[in-house]
A and B are shown apart, each in its own frame.
Chain A
Amino acid sequence: MKLNHKVMPTAWPDCTSIILTMKLTAIFLIAAFIQVSAKSFSQQVTIRQKNISIEKVLQLIEDQSSYHFLFKINDLSSSRNVSLELTNASVEQVLDQCFKNTPFTYKIINRTILVKKAIDLTDPGASNSEVLQKIQGVVTDEKGIPLPGVTIKVKGTTTGTVTDVNGKFLLEIPDANSTLIISFVGFTSQEVSTRGQDILTIHLREAPKDLSEVVVVGYGTEKKVNLTGAVNTVNMEDLGSRPLTSSSAALQGQVPGVYALQASGKAGGDGATINIRGVGTLNNSDPLVLIDGLPGSMDDVNPADIQSFSVLKDAASSAIYGSRAANGVIIVTTKRGSNKKVKLSYDTYWGVQDPTALPKTMNSVQYATLYNEAAINTGQQAKYSASDIAKYANGSDILYPNTNYLKVFYNKANMQNHHLNLSGGTDNLNYAFMLGYLDQDGILVGNTYNRYTFRSNLDAYFLKDNRLKLSANIFGSRGTTQTSSNEWQAKWYANNAPIWPLKNAAGEYVAVNGENNYYGEIMTGSLSTNLKSQINTIFGANYRILNGLTAELSYGYSWTQNHGKSFNPNFTTAKLGGGYNVNVANLTDQNAQDSQTQLTALLRYVKNFKKHNINLLAGYSQEEFDSNWVSAYRSGFVNNTQQEIALGDASTQTNSSSASALGLESYFGRLGYSYADKYLFEANVRRDGSSRFAKGKQWGAFPSFSAGWRLGQEDFMKGVSWVSNLKIRGSWGKLGNQNINSRYAASQVLSSGQNYSLGGTLAPGVAVTSLANANTTWETTTQTNIGIDASLFHNFTITADYFWKYTDNILLQVPIPITMGAYAPPYQNVGKVKNQGIEFMASYKKAFDNQMKLNVTMNISHITNKVTDLYGTSPIINGVKALVEGSAVNAFYGYKVSGLYQISDFTWQNNSDPGITPASRQYVLKPGVVSVDNYSALPGDLKFADLNGDGKVTMDKDRTVIGKQFPDIAYSAQVNLAWKGFDFTLFLQGVQGINGYQSLEIFEEFSGFSNTGIWWLNRWTPDHTNTNIPRLTLDDARRTIASSYYMENASYLRVKSIELGYTLPAKLLQRMKIGNFRIYGNVQNAFTFTKFKGYDPEQPVGETRAEAYPQTRIFTIGANVNF
């Protein structure tokens, strides 16, 4: 610890009276004081030093005891040095010896030692003609708990003191009628009159936390209370110790208006897709993510390295990133060192994962019985004889199994995570080093992931007054994801019908449906490995030219390599009818490299005069992206263990490559102005150029404006005691987007790879495959936001926002006639999308008398997303999804089921003679009953709504929007409870009003060789007509029609995390030299409430088959240790 009496006076350079300083930690950390007061005071001091300053002596006493000093600064600095030789002496002994023959004396008040010139203490009047009065007092919080370190100042003077560990103070005041200003970090300042009082009791009221909170915004920081845009900040420590393997998943449920969809539980692939305020474009709608200023991907950061992230939602807050910010901005700040003592922390957890949900499917007997029914319904013979079904029921014949393939492919899987963080610093150098290791097995057979991360954040200060700051951030990671060579096939085969034997009596893997046995192939060595290596560096210089004027320059470089190897082994399967399928091994070896450079230059100017506060920023940035990829293939490998291209058959080799580059250049500026911290205004402008566009179309300018009014600061609100903070704010701005799939959409090119072969030799060819459009330019998002922030009753904080977001000139590949040449359509600036929504966030904090602390946060958002203009091409249908004017982006599209055809809809032979058995009837639809174009309907078939009323359901006229992929409402709630050493966290998250389309496997009866959902037992039969599930069939013309029958309600409420932790008592730990030790248990995705019948309702956007890699429920135990 360091005495701060050299630093403190600079804050009050004109100080003439007593300036009292003490340990910095004592001022700022109440917690530290609680610890101090808990331990017994050490009275023994050992000092053996020659010729040291009195200051140094006092510091040594502070270090060895629990006393602290108050003294008059000018006096001490002028004192001569002393020599001491004392062992286990009392503090009084040391001080007596120390001050012997000096003009100083001291006085011990509780644990505070007051040092003064002897004359001041003995006779105040002797050195000062003023009659000084003494006033004593105690400062507590609202519940009466004493507050140490509170600053007491006499109003209008520079005289003051601080409270001691018991919250007490003693102060000399110039006259009996003074006013004291009592202030303390985290509490609302208070003024108290001393008139007629000797002993004051002052209760300080806790200030709402966010009043002092500083949030990271674009190219800087801002006090939260002064924000005029819609910005949310999440501190990672608030998330507890959830076993987050991907940083993007940490966003889930944390910020209203941010929809983070964690689509998979795959080890090494469980990142979330993030949409901020709906889907604002028909192109890539991922937000811009900046990691310590360098664009990147959330999942390239170890979650444990993150200090906090800020989400910039509205146009005003993100406009400074103009061109890239149309989908919102996420600013990730990693942990940095500070000039405190060295801190080493270690976090670890160990867990086991299993699938959250697997579909319920049939057993072999059910499958075979119903398959026969379907075959007969289709006019075929029954496939399984009674003796076959008896064998399935019996289960003793290995070729007639009852295998639940979901359990074959999905299993419990372990994971462990370790993270070390060493941080600290001096006045001139701050450092933080982080090391992370994650080892995770996937629940799907063959899937594993491990990742090593390293991060070093250094800040060094140079020159007078630390005018120059140089920083270096280095991040490296190496992640290895393993799956079977074709993960899709593994997920697909997990749906296999239970009747397929895994192995025959000879122990050979049996070909499923005569094709393959993917489980056997995985066991034999089907392996896909992706090694992702990454290095990100950012070097920055920050130079304070004048007070208030700063120049910054930073250079970032990021390099990512993905080296993928996919090996299909030599593998033989036995066919049920005899013979074998032999797969010859092959290997694909791919290497992709992406590099990115960013140069940013900033000039900042801050000026405060009177009540005006001006804040200026000007900047320039340029970025370059280079990507290249090479791939090689060979087959004919002689063994399954040596997976190197060179060992394959050279005559089978093929290879390929690609390369592309992108450049971006930007100029930007910001003007911030506030008056009296009440009236806030900000304007941003950014001018961006992108190499994606043709010359003349490259540049776009994007302005924004925002304003805020802190009503809470107005005099007329002073009387409203239950409102401690109130602000209304509004913003408007335009943002750009150029993030389309192609980097060269404006250049007409001939693509290679359009090859032919001539006489057994490859004849390379080129052709135009997509049409260019040199007229494309920026798409523009215009967003308006109004919001309110309030702190009420000292416990509640509320934030509400309403926004309108219009994206136009969307770079849309509007379909063009095939007769043009079947080209991929060119991008045109034509589409329009509208997002509109309301976001609400509330939190409640309360500390109870029994030391229990409660913290509840909830947020909810409702966003409507609508395609408003498709340039006359609506609907653009893509399978079961479509872009339809007036509907949400990529809505599900198909027939609407209106019920089932019943027998009463038909006539049959002999004037519908009921004596004819259903199987022998030749049904004819009654006149007036709607028919289907795709097939001749029979009783039990799905009946679709005839939307145009022409009596016939046709593909071209009767399809419509049947569901949407984005929720109406997303909500979450988090409860934190702490009591003594225990902490408990409950985190709920859910979405409402969202659909999933589930077809083919499991959802469609007997699709391919997949199993069928158990709910099909409730299908329509002539004897069971009161159902919404159609009759069974094997007829694809019936089964595969896209309709609302396959729409599932994908709403869910999930207990995302439950955590119980215990922090060991400090007393116990001090003996072990451990600062803090916490152990906890956590259950992630503990329970899910949903009607969804497939895998987890949270599945990839656009997934239309029952093949998603399910989410995982994770049980972890872990520990956090600080040294």
Chain B
Amino acid sequence: MKIKNIIGAVLILMMMSACKKNILDKTPLDQFDTQTFFTGPTQAKLALMGIYSAYNDNWYQYDFMSDNNYCQDSWQGSLDFSAWQQNSSSWRATNKWTIAYQTIARANTFLENIGTVTMDASLKNAMRGEARMLRGVMYADLVHFYGDVPLVLKTLPLSEAAVSRTAKQTVLDSALADFDYAASVLPNSYSSTDVGRATKGAALSFKTRALLYNKNWAEAAAAAKQVIDLGVYSLFPDYGGLFTEANENNSEVIFDIQYLENSRSQPWPSFTLSFVVWPTPGVTADIIDAYYTQSGLPISSSASGYNSQQPFISRDPRLAATFVLPGSQFGSVIYIPASDGQLTGARPRKYANIGSDPYNVGLNFILMRYADILLMRAEALIESGNTSQEVYDLIDQVRQRTSVNMPKVETVEGTGLSQAQLRAVVRHERRVEFAMEATRYSDMRRWEDVSTVHDVYGYVIAKLSNPASAATWQFEREKKTTRVFDASKGWLWPIPQVELQNNKNLTQNPGY
């Protein structure tokens, strides 16, 4: 009996010790509780960086959808757009929408919680400014691609998930208000450890772009002027060097997406542009031919000095800086189209990585640079009917960058050009200056220029096998694939199918 009691006591003791703590009370161990997180500036900055991290697109792929480039692999998500055969299930339409609303929601969460944080008031407002600028960039981008979109400015409960589309102008006004607030609180620049955060110049620049994209010419020109007048930015002398890791955050960069090898490298499939893997992005003959010769004349002009069998001699230096052309050197390799298997016979050089791990690229992608401000102001002035010398000067600044040094507009085209003539000049200048920088596709769409959507041409690569002899090194163009503008879809992207499915209050754009 004694033993029985001891056993009983032991059992009861074990049970009691086991029941002492409530084992059903478990809180997250490796994540922060939203309710208690926002306390001081450190936490505020963590949440702020969370907004930046969401803005992470496959930037260079926007040119694959333009007349600058052609990517034959559907898995990279631009082929259907590039063929004008996108539909509402197209990956990229969903991806852009997702990036935008993720960034917006993070900004909204930040703005809702920053109020209770104990910190310096002006720093707090500057942080608000950063969040609002990023939100503004997203909304400006959304209306540009999708037209009317839901305007969400707070964290929504599940019961209010089914939002409707808001008129484009209302969304745009919200974005402009965000830019204005940001410009009023943000600093002109940061010390080195904070380089890359949104500045006053960035807010004004994105405001300029939003206004320009929406044909608000006068205001766009004024906003661009504000950026120029800040006196913070200047053109970087070395055009090709502008896009290298060594020259990141240079004087021309107004806003870029910052990447870092190993810990925050470019998103998959960043290796697309790498020279060592996947010969997929094909530079079109169209963009190669678009560069003038050093005379400042198009190759179609007999006075240009263009030689079709030595096509890259004496061309605008930006051509060779932007593309790996047949027979040119890239790293240690001479590029031979016939042995590369690349469809069009030329590859991008801008943003392409040499040598390092193609899956681990730390090169920043510039979303806004000073040359763009100059050309945007020029375009805004032209479109508002101003054809004064300032327009020439703005364009000439870009053309006469130290390493480019193309003749002035006046020198080649003459002075007193009409609005239409100047419009053509600035549009051409945008194309060659910003090739492979994700702006061409947007330019095509905002200019609604159907002539830019046409079949893809490239070199016959089999005839580019050995530069040593003329017989094995012939430049012959051929059609690579068909590209036809679909007028029924127009210039707007489809609202993602998955979104229509999960939100019955959304409507689709015409043609989808």
Which positions in A face B, CB cutoff 8 Å? 379-381, 383, 463, 468, 513-515, 541, 543, 545, 551, 553, 555, 576-579, 581, 583-584, 599, 601, 620, 622-624, 633, 635, 652-654, 657-665, 689-691, 698, 743-744, 747-752, 754-768, 771, 773, 815-823, 826, 873, 877, 933-935, 954-956, 1034, 1036-1037, 1040
Contact = CB atoms under 8 A, between A and B. Distances in A.
Closest 10 CB pairs of A and B: A821-B105, A765-B49, A577-B339, A767-B50, A1036-B74, A663-B23, A759-B195, A822-B102, A757-B260, A749-B31
A42 B34 CA distance: 85
B251 interface: no
Given A579-B332, A751-B31, A821-B109, 16 more contacts: A514-B277, A541-B7, A578-B336, A622-B18, A635-B262, A749-B33, A752-B32, A756-B196, A763-B52, A771-B158, A815-B498, A820-B161, A955-B87, A1034-B72, A1036-B75, A1037-B85
B74 A750 contact: no
Interface string B1-41: 00110010001001100110011111111111111010000
A654 B262 contact: yes
A771 B34 CA distance: 11
B475 to A, nearest CB: 16
Contact of A762 (B102, B248, B260, B341): B260
A964 B433 CA distance: 53
Nearest to B105: A821
Interface string B259-276: 111111000000000001
Contact of B258 (A659, A691, A757): A757
B212 to A, nearest CB: 26
A87 B29 CA distance: 78
Contacts of A545: 4
Contacts of A935: 85
A619 to B, nearest CB: 12
Contacts of A760: 248, 260
Nearest to B264: A757
Contacts of A553: 11, 14-15
B54 interface: yes
B196 A662 contact: no
Contacts of B35: 748
A749 B332 CA distance: 49
Nearest to B104: A821
Nearest to B19: A622
Contact of A933 (B87, B276, B336): B87
Contacts of B190: 759
Contact of B50 (A380, A513, A750): A750
Contacts of B54: 754, 767
Given A599-B18, A759-B194, A934 B85 contact: yes
Contacts of A551: 11
Q: Which of B14, B28, B481 has the most CB of A within 10 A?
A: B28
A209 B48 CA distance: 72
Contacts of B194: 758-759
Contacts of B48: 765
A576 B101 CA distance: 45
A766 B30 contact: no
15 contacts: A514-B277, A576-B339, A583-B357, A689-B24, A744-B31, A747-B28, A755-B49, A756-B49, A758-B193, A764-B46, A765-B48, A820-B152, A821-B109, A1036-B72, A1036-B79
A817 B104 CA distance: 14
B393 interface: no
Given A747-B27, A759-B192, A1036-B73, A934 B106 contact: no
A513 B496 CA distance: 34
Given A749-B28, A751-B31, A819 B152 contact: yes
A758 B196 contact: yes
Interface in B477-502: 478-482, 496-499, 501-502
Contacts of B152: 819-820
A212 B46 CA distance: 68
Interface in B92-133: 94, 97-99, 101-102, 104-106, 108-109
B333 interface: yes
B34 A773 contact: no
A652 B34 CA distance: 32
Nearest to B31: A749
Most chain-B Cβ atoms within 10 A of its Cβ — which of A752, A758, A817, A933?
A: A817
A815 B502 contact: yes
Contact of B26 (A468, A744, A933): A744
Contacts of A622: 18-19, 23
Given A756-B53, A934-B85, A819 B30 contact: no
Contact of A755 (B27, B163, B263, B501): B263
A555 B17 CA distance: 13
A774 to B, nearest CB: 11
Contact of B97 (A660, A755, A818): A818
B150 interface: yes
B264 A820 contact: no
Nearest to A577: B339
B162 interface: yes
Given A754-B49, A755-B49, A757-B264, A768 B333 contact: no
Nearest to A742: B28
Given A515-B278, A690-B24, A767-B54, A381 B462 contact: yes
Contact of A750 (B32, B196, B343, B482): B32
A752 B481 contact: no
B30 A658 contact: yes
B156 interface: yes
B477 to A, nearest CB: 13
B496 A757 contact: no
Contacts of A818: 94, 97-98, 101-102, 496, 498-499, 502
